[in-house]
Amino acid sequence: MSTDELSGLVGTTQVIEELLGASGEAILILQPDGQIRKLNERLGEWLGRSSQELVGTSFFTLFKTAQKIRVQDALADALSDGRAELANTRALKPDGTMAHFGLKVSRLGDEPNIALLVVARDISGSMQTGSKERVIDGQIKYAQKLESLGVLAGGVAHDFNNLLVGILGNAGLAMMELDEEHPTRESVQLIEAAAVKAAKLTEQVLSYSGRRKSTLKTVHLGEVVESMKHLLDISRARQVSLDYTTAEDVPLVFVDPSDMQQILINLVTNASESHVAESGSVQVTVGERHCHVGELAEAVVGRGLPGGHYVTISVSDTGEGIAPDNLGKLFEPSFSTRAKGRGLGLAAVRGIVESYHGAVTVRSEVGTGTELCVFIPARIDLQMPEETTMGSLDDWRGDGTILVIDDEESVRQVARETLSRFGFEVLTSVDGQEGVETFEKHRDEVVAVLLDVTMPGLSPEEALLEIRRMRSDVGVVISSGYGEAEA
């Protein structure tokens, strides 16, 4: 079909040219076999090709196999029914990326002068918006999972800590019975040491899940890393090795240790995940650095900090690296370079670091690896507090009756045995209601109450109010298998 024949279908050649040029959408006139006979500039602009080179080519060559079949079916439907539409199809650009289009196809004329009018609308922007919305939705769901993890971790920690009370308590009671030279003493000490490690691991899980109350302390970041090695090791990808270095004479910092633990596990997890398929290594280094004014101007987080001493935690990897365009987005909550990336870990790091007036720098090279370095202000004026030790309780004896209210048999048993050894009479109750009734019967004898914070039935708060109503001067010790935040 000639151009003059096409002009006869819709008016004049001049009208066609004006319509094609004025439209913001891509307009094409095709032969029934899909050959492009005329088009405006839009399609070429969207695909990064000139319109002239597309004239005379098959419209179907713009699409990959699956999409090509869909477009061929749409054109066939338009030839038979007069009209067809595709809400979303993808055309291949020369650089290998995809452009997304919505297509409307109409038949022009009758035999023997049939042509097809294709109007294409670029929907790549809306597809990107939808993709970003899906990313944000995924991260909201991940945040909800983290919250659920925190609740679960708190519950597990409570039950686990109650088990540890039984283990440590009975191990301690056994140690009281054993002479210094007894052959079993070393075995019991090993049981105690293992239980203490388990208790610390529980505390770390609570810290990671955000279920701890913030407590600022004077700490050595090298010791924080040392205490985290086991948890970091089980968090890394199996094909990645993990190494540690701590410089000598690193200054102290005044922070919540759990915040530093969260920074570590997020940075190490992120570095570990950068090794997509191949093996690699992650290096964790604790050091110090004196920065001059403006030296941290290029920091991704906390740029423009004043000069001074900083303690640094550097986590470097030999992974895939980060493209320069993505460095500035690295700590955004909605950003992740991985399909399954969560995008929240580094955002949490940013919030923690900024709360301490610190900074984070990033160095990365695609294909080589990445180094993230956290700067926390050093406290040269601080010293580690001296550890205080209790004197021996071997000869100390108490007097009076203590009421233990706890729903865990192992806790009640250990408390009974331990307190009895130090001269106390011990009463036990399995819940708040029974505890109040027991206290009422023995109110004049009880000198102190040991009250669990989580029990079925009458709540600990109500039990405490009832006990204090009967005797306001009685001492009450609140105990819990949860962390401070939950208790």
- pLDDT of amino acid 485: 45
pLDDT at 314: 94
Predicted confidence at residue 459, as pLDDT, reads 84
Q: Which helix (H) or strand (E) holds 280?
A: strand 280-291
What architecture is domain 401-479?
A: 3-Layer(aba) Sandwich (3.40)
Q: What pLDDT is attached to residue 4? A: 56
In angstroms, rounded to a whole number, what is the distance separating the alpha carbons of residues 17 and 34?
20
Helix (H, G, I), strand (E, B) or coil at 357: coil
Q: What is the pLDDT of residue 207?
A: 57
Distance from CA of residue 193 to its chain's centroid? 31
pLDDT value at residue 53: 86
Considering the four listed CATH numbers 3.40.50.1820, 3.40.50.10320, 1.10.287.130, 3.20.20.70, the one that applies to the domain covering 130-212 is 1.10.287.130
What pLDDT, on a 0 to 100 scale, did the predictor assign at position 315? Answer: 94
CB atoms inside a 10 Å sphere around CB 153: 21
Rounded-to-integer distance, Cα 244 and Cα 368, Å: 20
What tens digit of pLDDT does each residue of 65-119 get? 778 888 899 999 989 888 998 888 887 777 667 788 888 999 988 777 889 998 8
> CB burial class (10 A; 0-12, 13-18, 19+) of residue 472?
exposed
Which residue blocks in 209-288 are alpha helix, DSSP H? 221-235, 257-273
Q: How far apart are CA 462 and CA 10, in angstroms?
A: 86
Check residue 288 and give its pLDDT.
93
- For residue range 141-151, list pLDDT tens digits in order: 655 665 666 66
Q: Give the pTM.
A: 0.48
Rg (CA), the chain: 35
Domain boundaries, the chain: 3-122, 130-212, 216-384, 401-479
CATH topology of domain 216-384: Heat Shock Protein 90 (3.30.565)
Write down the pLDDT at residue 343: 47
DSSP 60: G
The set of residues, in sequence order, having a beta carbon less than 8 Å from that of 270 and lying 6+ positions away, is 315, 345, 346, 372
CB within 8 Å of 46: residues ≥ 6 apart: 26, 91, 99, 101, 122, 124
Q: What is the mean pLDDT of each run of 10 residues along the chain (487 residues)?
A: 52 54 76 88 81 88 82 90 86 74 87 86 65 57 62 70 81 82 84 78 60 74 89 77 91 89 87 76 93 77 80 91 78 58 66 86 87 91 60 71 89 86 90 91 92 82 90 87 49
Superfamily covering domain 3-122: PAS domain (3.30.450.20)
